[in-house]
Amino acid sequence: MRYLALIVVLFLAVTSLVVSSACSDEETTGASTAPAPIDGAEPVNNSPAQAVLLFDIGLHIEPLGAVTSSLTGTAATSSTGTPGPDYNRPGLFDRHVQDILTLADIVERHQGKLTVQAQSPFTTVAISTNNTVLSDLAARGHEIGLHFHEDAHLGRNPDSLPSSTWCAVMNEEADLLKQASGAEDIRYWSGGNLYPGLLEAASCAGLDVNSDWKNPKEQQTATDLLGTNPWRPAGGSEGNNVSRFATHDAGGPVVYLPEGLYARNDYASMRRSESAGGDEAYFQFLKESLTNSLAQADPARVNVFHFTVHPGEFKGSPDHPFEVIDRFLTEVVDPLVASGQVQWATYSEMADAFTAWEQAHPDIDPRGA
């Protein structure tokens, strides 16, 4: 009996070891073969769970001194009707050219590129004076796009005009950009946000990437358009009614790039408000918005974040121009780029990343829930 009991004990011990080893092997195997989640970009540091946020700075050049296009069929008139800053006058154009080049130098030191959005008369003055600022920026890898102020180029009641007129004038502005910059293709534009036929007109003019929606009368962005994931709007806006614009249409001709997850929708105007705390407070707000956007970024989709500056804006002291931007890039953006969480990309590069993603995942809503 003693021998039988000993045999039973040995059998149970061996069985326990075999079962334990099998369970351990099963757990290890299951961990190593878990499928990676869908991702719109290559995993960074072999970590499929880490989302990547595509980042850029957009530069808006305003139509200072513009007159309405002759293509509207009306007499050329000032966009404002009153004297004001004008690129056709000596001094202002040259000062803003230096501002733009200084800003580009700063961004390049941080291995980035700008998306420079210009329009006439900045383009026409560059052409008439043989100034190469836009062609130099294009040669250095910065994107050249169109910033289109409809009231400046189409007159005081642009929404009453047919989309064919919008197309003709947008195309006229794009051709001036090509002439001033040497860029063969102008794809991106901002502006014209309240016109219901905007997408049709822009597509007609060869433009297929858009962002920076805001109501120019209120200087506010519709909250339905905030987020980090691009989409293709199903239609234009009608004033503040952006229901169709906020809806994804897989067959839409234009890719819209939201600016990020901002805690307030007047961020376009707060940067100019002293009551909001000035430059330092604004860039602290940008830091919080970037951090929030990164925290909410989806590793299964393309994610973007960008903000806008103007020539001479945030310039600071003459001895250290644009120091607040340089410091923001050094202290906030550079560490995120080094860790792989943020990646510089021009606006058209963001759109191309989204296009590649949607081709690979045609049945997935790019905006998620």
Cα 220 versus chain centre, distance: 17
Q: What is the mean pLDDT of residues 187-216?
A: 97
Q: What is the mean pLDDT of residues 108-118?
A: 98
* Structure tokens given for 10: 């040995």
pLDDT at site 368: 74
Measure the CA–CA gap between 286 and 309, rounded to whole angstroms: 12
Please name the residues in contact with 89: beta carbons below 8 A apart, sequence gap of 6 or more: 65
pLDDT one-digit tens code per residue, 330-369: 999 999 999 999 999 999 999 999 999 999 999 999 987 6
Q: Which of 47-56, 83-92, 325-334, 344-353 has the lowest mean pLDDT?
A: 47-56
pLDDT at site 83: 67
Amino acid at residue number 245: F
Decide: helix, strand or coil at residue 258.
Answer: coil
Please name the residues in contact with 92: beta carbons below 8 A apart, sequence gap of 6 or more: 64, 85, 86
pLDDT at site 228: 97
Topology annotation, domain 53-360:
7-stranded beta/alpha barrel (3.20.110)
pLDDT at site 269: 62
Choice between 222 and 5, residue whose per-residue pLDDT is larger: 222
In degrees and rounded to multiples of 5, residue 221 shows phi and psi of -100, 135
- The helix (run of H) or strand (run of E) holding residue 35 is none
Domain boundaries, the chain: 53-360
pLDDT at site 184: 93
Q: What is the mean pLDDT of residues 137-157?
A: 97
Strand partners, 190: 147
pLDDT at site 67: 95
Please give the radius of gyration of the chain, using alpha carbons only, rounded to the nearest integer: 26
Measure the CA–CA gap between 25 and 55, rounded to whole angstroms: 43
* Structure tokens given for 241: 């009614």
- The helix (run of H) or strand (run of E) holding residue 104 is helix 92-109
Look at residues 307, 324, 306, 328 and name the one whose alpha carbon lies nearest to residue 315: 324
Question: Using omega within 30 degrees of 0 as the cis cutoff, is the peptide bond preceding 90 cis?
Answer: no
Q: Dihedral sign for Cα 162, 225, 212, 182, please.
A: negative
Question: What mean pLDDT value characterizes the chain?
Answer: 86
* DSSP, res 223: G
pLDDT at site 240: 87
Q: How confident is the model at residue 317 (pLDDT cuts 50, 70, 90)?
A: confident
